[in-house]
Amino acid sequence: MGNQVDLLIECHGKFNAATAIRIGKEIEKFSPMWFEEPVPAGMIQATKKVVQHVNIPIALGERFNSKMELKEYLENGIVDVMMFDCGKIGGITEALKICAMCEAWQVKVAPHNPFGPVVAIAQAHLAAAVPSFLILEHEQMAPWAITPPIKIVDGFIEVPSEPGFGVDLNEEEIFRNQEKVDNGTYRPPPHDRETFAPSL
């Protein structure tokens, strides 16, 4: 891939501190953009131990349900990128409070999104409004659920300018695809992996 792609290392909270440190030291030389959830969420002391031994920015927070869960991480200086999720953190208002907290502590925000296009558009609006924004997770799941569909230009989501979030639910398509989900025939749209990993 050369130097044209940032590497984001996802640990999914699967390691203890010792294992995370061993892995982190092995991958430092590749200068990853971040080391995500090297230890389980909520383990403040274990996270602190990893931060003390590994020279990679630490990203976490996709499992958080409240801004209060972030407070101790900020106070201990052991998070570099906060990955809250508007779909579970309490919506846009709560997300704005989290962004303000992160800005005060010089922590970047990179919203997480496993919930589909409505949350993607909501978080795109949020990203356009906060100075602490870094990058936005987006997956092409259920693109038919909204109209107009999400528009991506040169790798950036185009933020709609219409009232509200600028999109409407496509209830007919949602109902039609839900029937397929219910009877086991739904297949998600194929991803264009060649765009990101061309054959050598």
Per-residue pLDDT, 197:
42
List Cα–Cα distances, 15 to 50, 65, 120, 162, 178, in angstroms: 11, 21, 29, 44, 37
Residue 9 β-bridge partners = 35
Nearest C-alpha neighbor of 78 from the set 119, 109, 46, 100? 46
Identify the pLDDT of residue 192.
Answer: 46
164-174: pLDDT as tens digits:
999 999 999 88
What are φ and ψ of residue 98, in 5° steps?
-65, -40
Q: What angle do CA 124, 125, 128 make, to 5 degrees?
A: 85
- For residue 200, the 8-state DSSP code is -
Supply the pLDDT for residue 75. Answer: 95
Task: Give the pLDDT confidence score for residue 160 in this predicted structure.
Answer: 92
Q: Token match 């992996």: residue? A: 193
Task: Map out the domains of the chain with their CATH numbers.
Answer: 61-196 (3.20.20.120)
pLDDT tens digit sequence for 32-79: 999 999 999 999 999 999 999 999 999 999 999 999 999 999 999 999
Per-residue model confidence (pLDDT) at position 144? 86
Spans of the chain, pLDDT less than 50: 192-200
How does DSSP assign 83-117, residue by residue? ---HHHHTHHHHHHHHHHHHHHTT-EE-----S-H
Please answer whether residues 7 and 36 qualify as being in contact, where contact means their C-beta atoms are separated by less than 8 angstroms: no
Q: Which residue has the tokens 């993607």?
A: 120
Contact 118/160 with Cβ under 8 angstroms? Answer: no
Q: What is the value of pTM for the model shown? A: 0.87
Contact yes or no for 38/15 (Cβ under 8 A): yes
pLDDT at 181: 78
Cα dihedral 97/98/99/104 (nearest 10) = 90
Q: Position of tokens 């300018």?
A: 161
Which residues are designated catalytic?
12, 112
